[in-house]
Amino acid sequence: MSSELFSDQLESPVGTVRVIAGPAGVRRVGWQLKAGDAATSGRDPTLGAALRQLREYFAGERQVFELPMDLVGLVGSTRTVLLTLVATVGYGQTISYGELAARSGSGVPARAIGSIMGANPLPLIIPCHRVVAHDGLGGYSGGDPGCGLETKRRLLELEGAMPPTLPL
């Protein structure tokens, strides 16, 4: 199997999202990824599927991503917590940092869950925006620079997990 990676991007309601993928699966999703993070700018079946499914998600037509994930480098409790999130917190749902810590059985304390969410290589596909503080949104490192919490709020509104913000 080829280890070559491909990249492309799509415009979304929460900014320009870049995807890096190859035959082993989707490797990276993010807002501040650079084209040079991937070997080739071009087409790959996995990359094409990821872009299509992300467009469907943003259009409100997809609730579950059906993509292989290339989680190279993720081991131990980080991998366990992220896979628990994917498997147990669905579209339109939220979970607190503490609840995810307990549910994962990883032994990671609640205060460290935020760091794991910040290290998530596949935001949106691994829905770290669904992890919230027990008393509010918590943090979010996704989105355009300086727009993390706004991006998190917009994603949760898109999924119906919180009411839309009223315009001023």
CA angle 70, 84, 141 (to 5 degrees): 70
Confidence band (pLDDT; 50, 70, 90) for 44? confident
Q: CA–CA separation, 145 vs 132, rounded Å?
A: 20
- Containing structural domain, residue 140: 76-158
164 found inside a domain: no
What interhelical angle do 110-118 and 76-88 show, nearest 10?
90
Could you tell me if residue 163 is inside a domain? no
Task: Answer yes or no: is 130 within a domain.
Answer: yes
Residues 54 and 81 in one domain: no
Q: Is the pLDDT of residue 61 over 60?
A: yes
- The answer to whether residues 44 and 82 belong to one domain is no
Sign of CA dihedral 143, 164, 166, 114: negative
Same domain, 88 and 125: yes
**pLDDT tens-place string over residues 67-124:** 999 999 888 999 999 999 999 999 999 999 999 999 999 999 999 999 999 999 999 9
Domain assignment present for 40: yes
The answer on 153 and 91 residing in a single domain is yes
Same domain for 53 and 83?
A: no
pLDDT at position 10, please? 94
pLDDT at position 104 is 96
Residues 48 and 82 occupy one common structural domain: no
Active-site residue (options: 67, 128, 155, 158): 128
User: For the residues 28-34, what does the mean pLDDT come to?
Assistant: 84
Active site includes 128?
Answer: yes
